[in-house]
Amino acid sequence: MDWTALRLSLELAAWTIAVLLPLGIWLGRVLAWRQFRGKALTEALLALPLVLPPTVLGYYLLVALGGASPLGALYQSITGQPLVFSFGGLLIASVIFNIPFAVQPIQRGFEAIPGEVRDAAACCGLSRWRRFWRIELPLAWPGILSALVLTFAHTLGEFGVVLMVGGSIPGETKTIAISIYERVQAFDTVAAGFMSAVLLLISLFAIGATYFSSARLRRPHG
Amino acid sequence: MADAGLHVRLQQAAPIPLDAELACAPGEMLALVGPSGSGKSTILRAIAGLLRVRDGRIACNGAVWFDARTGVDWSPQRRRIGFVFQQYALFPHLSALANVMEALLDLSGAAREQRARDLLARVHLAGLEERLPRELSGGQQQRVAVARALARRPNVLLLDEPFSAVDRATRERLYKELAELRAELSMPVVLVTHDLDEALMLADRMCVLAHGRTLQAGPPFDVLSRPASVQVARLLGVKNVFRAGVLGHEHEREVTWIEWRGHRLEARLQPAFAAGSQVTWAIPQGQIVLHRRDRPSRGERENPVSGVVAQFVRLGENAAVTLEVGEATRPPLFLTIPLHVARRNNIDLGARVTVSLLRDGIHLMPPDEAHMPARAAAEPAAAGRPAR
């Protein structure tokens, strides 16, 4: 069992959520309620990671984050290390390929809030911040929770993009999915089987927790 | 104070055409009445500051809330209005108490909760404070919405069809409660409704709207008995609308004579319509009196008109009767009479009866085409064609 890889995967998932959640809430809310030019195009672009083959996405990220790219060069001049094949590069890639998994459920969550309820909040004299904090966020919570779980599970399981952008550096970019693959390549089916089972349990727990809590939200005496 | 109360003028061509002007005094309830799509809710939302209109001005108690010319446009928060939404729009995740407390952020801690409890008690919800909206009946939800709307001591109370989502029995109880509550309220109250009876029962004044235009305002009964135009009469469901020619006026007797299907009818003096001109006239059903067939009764000499019963429909304890006067192709007279009166007088299909059209009930209006704007006349006339 590769505990280092598991820990790295969990860290990556936690960081991805930390970065993506505020961004996802902002984007999801804007997309749910505002009408603007190019909205359809924006939504299509944000959904792109859903349909692109992970290797294609990984390739473009590799180019965009590589030493020859402005972003890669900037990172290297500051930190002295390349962005690709590092945890930082992996995090950027993880955030990007998780965007649709976070934004779409959050957008649906905000869309589900009736316009009259938002108007009522304004008529009650609630400030913009209090309206967000006290009314909108709790009501969009089921969507936000789905986004959390999907992002978490998807980060643990992502393989193609991670391999392209991160390679397989133990303790730096070798996630549990990569580790399982390597164990299988080495005919170590016992370790591969054990790690797969751990991943299965974590995913099952995460998805079960979502269903349980959203059922609780819907229950009459919640 | 001349500026006291609410003064609203709204104009725009698109997206929703509006040409509305209305005023509501402190403590007065104004009903906005009109068919769906007539712009009632749009006007209410504009007053609340939830919707911005192209042109116009909204002022309340001397403060200008919105003025398109000077660019003034206060937020709903700053206007301090109470709004009861059609579906109540309670915060579904908060208890009845917390819903009301959200509108009381000016107060702190214990005072806030105490005032919210007082308000809920005032709308007869003591004991249900901790319930979530989904654990309350429709009528109870409406009461929470009213308590929440009143919590801020609003400058104006806006009610958007607040009775449309509850059953009939609950509605009648809520009418009574609202009427009681109203006596204590000192701010202007604007009630949007498509139900004329609601306006007649609750409002001090009513304003009739169609296609975003305010057509007539006044005390509900006056507007109903003296509509300014055929369009208003149709919108209010006045059935007896006919055309006639003006014969002349007798100022000393306060009478205007009109000629209708060979009858010389005596009407209340309405000298604005010149002798020889064509007019449209209307009469409320309550101003048509049936003559007893066995013996003469009071008022028989007042505009007696006889006709043949063409339709006789029982409606509970009353009967809706249509009477053909003159040729059968012409629009009939409509009247409602108690069923026992119909029985006693042997009124049934084909019977010939005589009625009196009471003088004070005959109301003259400009002839329909001339008065109806082209836009409205071109509509598929949901309320039916003007009668000939």
**Would you call B76 and A119 a contact, using CB atoms and an 8 Å cutoff?**
yes
- Name chain A contacts of B85, Cβ cutoff 8 Å: 116, 119-120
Q: Which amino acid is at B315?
A: L
Task: Give the DSSP per-residue string, A36-47.
Answer: -TTHHHHHHHHH
pLDDT of res. B3: 81
Number of CB atoms found within 10 A of residue B381's CB: 13
Q: Which residues of A touch B86 (CB under 8 A)?
A: 116
Structure pTM?
Answer: 0.83
**Which pLDDT band holds residue A220 (cuts at 50, 70, 90)?**
very low
Between A177 and B2, the more confident residue is A177
Average pLDDT of span A30-45: 93
Query: Considering only alpha carbons, which residue of chain A is nearest residue B75?
Result: A122
Report the pLDDT averaged over residues A183-202: 92
Closest chain A residue to the Cα of B49, Cα to Cα: A123
Distance of alpha carbon B329 from its chain centroid, rounded? 32
Residue A98 in this model has a pLDDT that exceeds 90: yes
B152 chain-A contacts, CB cut-off 8 A: 124-125
Q: In this model, does residue B373 exceed pLDDT 50?
A: no
Closest CA relative to residue B129, chosen from B96, B107, B159: B96
- Of residues B374 and B43, the one with the higher pLDDT is B43
- pLDDT (tens digit, 9 = 90+) per residue, B223-238? 999 999 999 999 998 9
Find, in chain B, the residue whose alpha carbon is nearest to that of A116.
B89
pLDDT above 90 for B164: no
State the count of interchain CB pairs (< 8 A) between A and B.
Answer: 64
Structure tokens at A170: 């133990």
Residue B190 clears pLDDT 80, i.e. is over it: yes
Q: A123 vs B91: CB contact, 8 Å cut-off?
A: no
**Distance, first Cα to last Cα, chain B:** 47
Check residue B372 and give its pLDDT: 43
C-beta atoms surrounding A182 within 10 Å:
16
**CA of A184, closest CA in chain B: separation in Å?**
49
Q: What pLDDT was estimated at residue B299?
A: 59
Q: What is the pLDDT of residue B378?
A: 37
From B83's Cα to the closest Cα of chain A, the distance in A is 7
pLDDT for position A147: 93
* Cβ–Cβ gap A123/B83 under 8 Å: yes
Mean pLDDT score, B379-385:
41
Residue whose structure tokens are 């008109």? B305
The alpha-carbon gap from A98 to the nearest alpha carbon of chain B, in Å, equals 29
Looking at per-residue pLDDT, the higher value among A167 and B277 belongs to B277
In this complex, the residue of A114, A117, A119 whose CB is nearest that of residue B50 is A119
**What is the predicted pLDDT for the residue at B297?**
60
Q: Is the predicted pLDDT of residue B334 greater than 70, yes or no?
A: yes
Residue of A nearest to B160 (CA): A116
DSSP state string for B72-127: EE--HHHHTEEEE-TT----TTS-HHHHHHHTTTTS-HHHHHHHHHHHHHHTT-TT
Taking any CB pair shorter than 8 Å as contact, residues of chain A touching chain B are 114, 116-117, 119-127, 130, 134-135, 138-139, 220-221
Q: Indicate the residue of B89, B106, B152 with minimum beta-carbon distance to A116.
A: B89
* Inter-chain CB proximity B87 and A114 less than 8 Å: yes
Say what percent of chain B tops pLDDT 70: 93
pLDDT of amino acid A143 = 92
Which position has the higher pLDDT, B291 or B191? B191
Share above pLDDT 90 across residues of chain A, in percent, rounded to a whole number: 61
Residue B93: phi, psi to the nearest 5? -95, 0
Given a cut of 70, is residue B20 above it in pLDDT? yes
State residue A111 phi and psi, 5-degree precision. Answer: -65, -25
pLDDT over 90 (residue A105): yes
pLDDT of residue B385: 44
What number is the average pLDDT over the span A190-218? 85
E strands along B211-294, which residues? 213-218, 241-250, 255-260, 263-268, 278-282, 288-290
pLDDT band at B382 (very low <50, low <70, confident <90, very high): very low
* Mean pLDDT of all residues in B282-300: 78
With beta carbons under 8 A apart, name residues in chain A contacting B50: 119, 122-123
Q: What is the structure's pLDDT at A120?
A: 95
Residue A3: per-residue pLDDT: 87
- Answer for the pair B204, B219: CB distance below 8 angstroms, yes or no: yes
Average pLDDT over residues B342-351: 88
Please give the helix or strand (H or E) that residue A211 lies within, else none: helix A189-218
Select from B49, B93, B102 the Cβ nearest to the Cβ of A124: B102
Q: What is the pLDDT of residue B386?
A: 45
Nearest to B89 among A117, A130, A221 (CB): A117
**Greatest Cα-to-Cα distance within chain B, rounded to the nearest angstrom:** 77
Dmax (CA) for chain A in angstroms is 66
pLDDT of B294 above 60:
yes
**Beta carbons of A147 and A102 less than 8 angstroms apart:** yes
Q: How far is A126 from chain B (nearest CA, A)?
A: 7
Pairing of strands B72-73, B63-67: antiparallel
Query: B106 contacts in A (CB within 8 Å)?
Result: 125
Contact B80 A135 (CB under 8 A): no
- Mean pLDDT value across residues B193-209: 91
**Quick one: what percent of chain A has pLDDT higher than 70?**
97
Query: Mutate which of B73, B83, B115, B161 to test chain A, going by most A C-beta atoms within 10 A?
Result: B83
Sequential DSSP letters for A130-178 = HIIIIIIHHHHHHHHHHHHHHHHHHHHH--HHHHHHH---TTTT--HHH
pLDDT for B141: 94
Between A86 and A213, whose confidence is greater?
A: A86
Mean pLDDT of B45-68: 94
Chain B residues whose CB is inside 8 A of the A117 CB are 89-92
Instruction: Note whether A116 contacts B102, CB cutoff 8 Å.
Output: no
Q: Is it the case that residue B157 has pLDDT exceeding 60?
A: yes
Distance CA A31, CA B28 (A): 42
Query: Span B285-296, mean pLDDT?
Result: 80
Interface probe with B: pick from A124, A134, A216, most Cβ of B within 10 Å: A124
Q: Residue A206: what pLDDT?
A: 84
pLDDT score recorded for residue A23: 96
Contacts of B81 in chain A (CB under 8 A): 123
Structure confidence at residue B384 (pLDDT): 43
pLDDT value of position A79: 87
B chain contacts of residue A119, beta-carbon cutoff 8 Å: 45, 48, 50, 76, 83, 85, 89
d(C-alpha B139, C-alpha B143), whole Å: 6
DSSP one-letter string for A72-112: HHHHHHHHSS-STTSHHHHHHHHHHHHHHHHHHHHHHHHHT
pLDDT in tens, B123-144: 999 999 999 999 999 999 999 9
Taking an 8 Å cut-off on Cβ atoms, the answer to whether B76 and A130 are in contact is no
Nearest by CB: A220 against B50, B86, B134: B134
Q: What is residue B369's predicted lDDT score, i.e. its pLDDT?
A: 61
pLDDT score for B291: 86
Confidence of residue B99 (pLDDT cuts 50, 70, 90): very high
Average pLDDT over residues A171-193: 91
pLDDT value of residue B296: 61
